[in-house]
Amino acid sequence: MQRIISVTVILLIVCLGLKAQDSVIVHKPSFFPLPVLGYSQEKGLEIGAAMLYSFYTGKSSELRNSTINLIPSVTTKNQYKIDLKTDIWTDNNNWHFKSNLRYHDFPIYFYGIGDTTHKADGTLVDNIRYKVQLEAEHRISGHFYAGLLLQYQKDDYRAKEIKGIYPGLPLTDKDGGYVTFIGASGIFDNRDNQNYTTRGTWMRLNIAYAPSFISKHELWKLDAQARHFIPLSRNSTLGLNGVFNSLQGSTLPFYLLPEMGNDLMMRGYYTGRYRDQNYLALQAEYRYFLNPRIPINIWFVHMQPKFALAAFGGTGAVFNNHDIGLSHFKPDYGLGIRWFYDESARLTIRIDYGWGEKRAGEQRQSGLYLSLAEAF
């Protein structure tokens, strides 16, 4: 397992100074840039930023905040990545719109298919991806929403080296391909806040179809997610999260197979280290909100920052349709800290460190994550 290593530079003094305030103003927009500096052997020096703008489309006290998140980066080996995400709530939360526009020219490690892959078999592969995803949800009654999804994705792959498993493995669409999914969703959402939830439930089921006349292969995709939050005390919450992804069809491109590991679920696993036709993962996270009464004075900056601590654990598995069993499930656990840079909207910067499986002859899989917003 390739360990996820990054060096991140956060201008905390400057950013805290910009956000320092003595009172909370409801429905005030906020902008937060998070500069990032990273290095790895396959991509060289990476320079980028994560920028999040939070705002409200109306004045209703119940209206949820909307966000625009832009993440561009470039490396010294002429690799590029840009990710633009929007999450818009309007009309007393009756409408919810989401979009994701993504382009990247970045290398990935491919280890094979299944849950028994080996680190030594990894091949560095160039991947160019174009992705457009649009979603719209409308409240139909109470806490129930119905929605539509449109997703287009095009991938190109090319091995950067001859070692490892990729060059000799027969894969569907080994050089890439394209797909267009059209889907429908059902959602239940009664959370008290979508950013840092302390009570409530969110459930979503999406079924999407990729017709052959606008995709390289005819495919079906199922995505089911559930989140439930239990307040344990005034400052502590237990969050429960489950995810199930499935790709069905007579011909399955390897790059569309569900993957284990990212900064949201199964933290500590390299994304794509394990991939297969189905993916099931469960996690629990304990969160404790800290409210220090002692202000901090740094030069001219007077502030009273809010933090939270987190501990998480879970398990997950990838498997094909004919091989489902408890033996596939792998462990995941870790610790984290959150800083509330916009307390009124409960927007956080999240730092997590996760540990996973230790395979024979390999180091324990682990990863460090710095992200805007909660894992779930």
Averaged over 330-356, what is the pLDDT?
92
pLDDT of residue 239: 98
Give tens-digit pLDDT for 3-21.
Answer: 444 444 334 433 444 444 4
Distance in angstroms (rounded) separating the CA atoms of residues 99 and 248: 24
Q: State yes or no: pLDDT of 299 exceeds 80.
A: no
| Secondary structure class of 254 (helix, strand, coil) | helix
Distance in angstroms (rounded) separating the CA atoms of residues 188 and 225: 11
Q: Which residue has the higher pLDDT, 223 or 369?
A: 223
Q: Which of 182, 169, 143 is nearest to 62 (CA)?
A: 143
Give tens-digit pLDDT for 352-366.
Answer: 999 999 999 999 999
Q: Which residue has the higher pLDDT, 177 or 306?
A: 177
Radius of gyration of the chain (CA): 21
Q: State yes or no: pLDDT of 38 exceeds 70.
A: no
Beta-ladder partners of 311: 286, 335
Q: Are 83 and 105 in contact (CB under 8 A)?
A: no
Q: State yes or no: pLDDT of 166 exceeds 60.
A: yes
Going by pLDDT thresholds of 50, 70 and 90, the confidence category of residue 292 is low
- Count of beta carbons in the 10 Å neighbourhood of residue 63: 16
Q: Which of 221, 283, 256, 216 is nearest to 113 (CA)?
A: 256
Q: State yes or no: pLDDT of 192 exceeds 90.
A: yes
pLDDT of residue 371: 84
pLDDT of residue 323: 85
Q: State yes or no: pLDDT of 309 exceeds 60.
A: yes
Taking the domains of the chain in order of start, what are their residue ranges? 12-372
Q: Are 335 and 352 in contact (CB under 8 A)?
A: yes
Q: How far is CA 153 from the centre of its chain?
A: 17
pLDDT of residue 296: 53
Q: State yes or no: pLDDT of 223 exceeds 90.
A: yes
Overall pTM > 0.95 = no
Q: Are 107 and 125 in contact (CB under 8 A)?
A: yes
Rama region for 285: left / alpha / beta (φ>0; ψ in -120 to 50; rest): beta
Average pLDDT, the chain: 88
- Count of beta carbons in the 10 Å neighbourhood of residue 341: 22
Topology of the domain covering 12-372: Porin (2.40.160)
Distance in angstroms (rounded) separating the CA atoms of residues 255 and 217: 13
